[in-house]
Structure 1
Amino acid sequence: MSEGEDDPLDKDILSTLLEILCCPRCEGDLSLTSDASGLDCVQCRLRYPVEDGIPIMLVERALPLIGNLAEKGE
């Protein structure tokens, strides 16, 4: 698979991980972005990046959500 293509397996794995992962800051629920590039915490208004299919669950690497869950900025 070439770089930039979505891997459906990655989305499946991330969806499964959402059942056990929580926000490291507030322990709230996370949701996967539509392009699987991040995990959003609505409570903290942070987006944790997903790099090479691996969620980076470090508060210092999270980006602030802007607007309505930053979906327009994906």
Structure 2
Amino acid sequence: MAMDERSGRKTPVDPKLLELLACPLTKGPLSWDPERGELVSRLAKLAYPVRDGIPIMLPSEARAIAIDDPSPQKGPGR
């Protein structure tokens, strides 16, 4: 679920949509961070926001993250 910024409610993200999405920069897989409501690209070290259940897949909107875990990336929703 992603946080709806306008109402403060959690909005569900379609799991099938998450399986189809890829990082626009690396074309690599994304993992879901339910606590922050973001899609994470470990390869690009970016977290893309999800607003009103819609992934914002623009690098200019993404948040830079530090990836300390060298383990392989898990699939969406895992």
TM-score by length of 2: 0.69
Q: Give 1:17's aligned residue.
A: 17
2-structure distance, mates of 1:44, 1:33: 15
Q: Which runs of 5+ in 2 are unaligned?
A: 1-6, 70-78
Root-mean-square deviation (CA), in Å? Answer: 2.1
Q: Whose strand fraction is larger, Structure 1's or Structure 2's?
A: 2
Percentage of identical aligned residues: 37
TM-score by length of 1: 0.72
Structure 1 residue ranges (4+ consecutive) displaced by more than 2 angstroms after TM superposition: 3-7, 66-69
Higher RCO, 1 vs 2 (CA within 8 Å, ≥6 residues apart): 2
Q: Whose helix fraction is larger, Structure 1's or Structure 2's?
A: 1
Q: Give 2:33's aligned residue.
A: 33
Equivalent residues, number: 64
Q: Give 2:63's aligned residue.
A: 63
Change (3 A) 1:4 1:29: same
